[in-house]
């Protein structure tokens, strides 16, 4: 059977979640860089995914899209270690945090959204990006997450919720200079995750297409 192929980009939050899942599941895969800034490559990429979005995971003869769907597939087919709690209530809780981050926070950090806003109203995208560095856009969703996070995101095991957290913190702190110290629980959990080898291996700066430090 051929090695799985992950279409990814080091800057992609959605790809980051899948990289962590693959690492935790000990699945060896081929990393295929997609330059999301290159129009020609994106046209070719659209032949694989008409939505022109990453990640895409080719595995077991399938072409899978949407990061959370990919993660759940991996968890069903490769159940060790589990990424969803056994308890139904905790499973719902983990999914709720994952969906909250993926649907309510990450889109507001997406530069493609800024470009679309600029197309409608010149300069408006830059205004929105500036707002995201401050209180209303990142911190308000962050407060919602702060209210629901536990020792990890849910209880005492790594779940699908935890796979979503590091990239959002990275975007807030490294891209937009947001001060997240008002959220000590998020900071604590993110620090715990950052010390886990599989999370370290999936960090943006460690990806083969990331800019090399001189």
Instruction: Provide DSSP, 38-88.
Output: -HHHHHHHTTT-TT--S-EEEETTEEEESHHHHHHHHHHHS-SS-SS-SSH
Show the low-confidence residues of the chain (pLDDT under 50). 134-141
Contact status, residue 164 vs residue 98, Cβ threshold 8 Å: yes
Nearest CA-CA partner of 106 in 17, 204, 180? 17
Between 4.10.320.10, 3.40.30.10, 3.40.50.2000, 3.50.50.60, what CATH number should domain 5-81 receive? 3.40.30.10
For position 195, what pLDDT does the model report? 96
Nearest CA-CA partner of 19 in 213, 206, 211, 212? 206
Give domain limits for the chain: 5-81, 88-200
For position 69, what pLDDT does the model report? 96
CA–CA gap between residue 91 and residue 96 (Å, rounded): 8
For position 39, what pLDDT does the model report? 63
For position 48, what pLDDT does the model report? 67
For position 38, what pLDDT does the model report? 65
Q: pLDDT digit string (tens) for 180-208?
A: 888 888 888 999 999 999 999 999 999 99
Nearest CA-CA partner of 211 in 5, 9, 6? 9
Query: In CATH, what class is 88-200?
Result: mainly alpha
pTM over 0.75: yes
CA–CA gap between residue 90 and residue 155 (Å, rounded): 8
Residue reference for tokens 């008002």: 182
Q: Is 31 helix (H, G, I), strand (E, B) or coil?
A: strand
């Amino acid at each position: 059977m051929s090695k799985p192929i992950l279409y990814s980009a080091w800057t992609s939050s959605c790809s980051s979640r899948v990289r962590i899942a693959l690492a935790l599941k000990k699945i060896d895969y081929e990393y295929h860089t997609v330059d999301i800034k290159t129009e020609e490559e994106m046209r070719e990429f659209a032949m694989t995914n008409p939505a022109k979005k990453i990640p895409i995971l080719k595995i077991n003869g399938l072409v899978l899209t949407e990061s959370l769907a990919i993660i759940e597939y991996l968890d069903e087919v490769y159940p060790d270690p589990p990424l969803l709690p056994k308890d139904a209530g905790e499973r719902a809780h983990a999914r709720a945090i994952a969906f909250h981050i993926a649907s309510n926070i990450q889109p507001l950090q997406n530069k493609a959204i800024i470009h679309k806003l600029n197309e409608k109203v010149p300069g408006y995208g830059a205004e929105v990006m500036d707002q995201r560095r401050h209180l209303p856009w990142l911190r308000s969703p962050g407060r919602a997450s702060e209210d629901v996070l536990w020792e990890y995101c849910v209880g005492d095991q790594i779940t699908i919720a935890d796979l979503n957290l590091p990239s959002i913190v990275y975007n807030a702190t490294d891209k937009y200079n947001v001060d997240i110290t008002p959220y000590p629980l998020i900071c604590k959990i993110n620090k715990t995750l950052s010390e886990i080898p599989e999370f370290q291996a999936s960090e943006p700066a460690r990806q083969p297409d990331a800019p090399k430090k001189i």
